[in-house]
């Protein structure tokens, strides 16, 4: 089950969060363009000259930040880029603090 935060939650935090939010929007906008360009450039039935022409057009027209691998998972509260859990979009430090404060229901310290 994927935990989805509201749209406004992506902008909370630092400048990095705003940049990441903009990149996520760009990825969403250009997703179809990228898949079409990829289909054309990998199709062997299309002549090589046309494939290269489409590839050059793709490199000039589509922004670099619209690539999915440029999206960075950041903590929505602190903007931290490392140690972020995907399911909650919170850093390990914030998860620990929230758990100790009792804001995460069902989470307790391990004991065995």
- Where residue 83 falls among pLDDT bands split at 50, 70, 90? very high
| CATH H superfamily, domain 73-104 | Ribosomal Protein S14/S29 (4.10.830.10)
* pTM confidence score: 0.67
Tens of pLDDT, residue by residue over 17-34, are 888 888 888 888 888 888
Average pLDDT rounded to a whole number, residues 93-101: 89
Q: CA-CA distances (angstroms) from residue 69 to 11, 15, 23, 27? A: 20, 19, 10, 9
For the chain, give every domain's residue range: 13-72, 73-104
pLDDT at residue 37, as a whole number: 86
Q: Please provide residue 32's backbone torsions phi and psi, each rounded to the nearest 5 degrees.
A: -70, -45
- Quote the mean pLDDT of the chain: 83
Residue 8: DSSP 8-state: G
Least confident range from 3-12, 40-49, 69-78, 97-106: namely: 3-12
């Amino acid at each position: 089950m994927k935990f989805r935060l509201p749209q406004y939650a992506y902008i909370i935090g630092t400048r990095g969060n705003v940049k990441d939010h903009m990149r996520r929007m760009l990825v969403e906008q250009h997703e179809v363009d990228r898949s079409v360009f990829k289909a054309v450039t990998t199709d062997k039935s299309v002549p090589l000259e046309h494939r290269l022409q489409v590839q050059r057009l793709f490199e000039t027209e589509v922004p670099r930040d619209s690539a999915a691998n440029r999206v960075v998972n950041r903590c929505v509260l602190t903007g931290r880029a490392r140690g972020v859990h995907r399911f909650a979009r919170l850093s390990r430090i914030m998860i620990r603090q929230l758990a100790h404060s009792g804001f995460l229901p069902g989470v307790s310290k391990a004991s065995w």
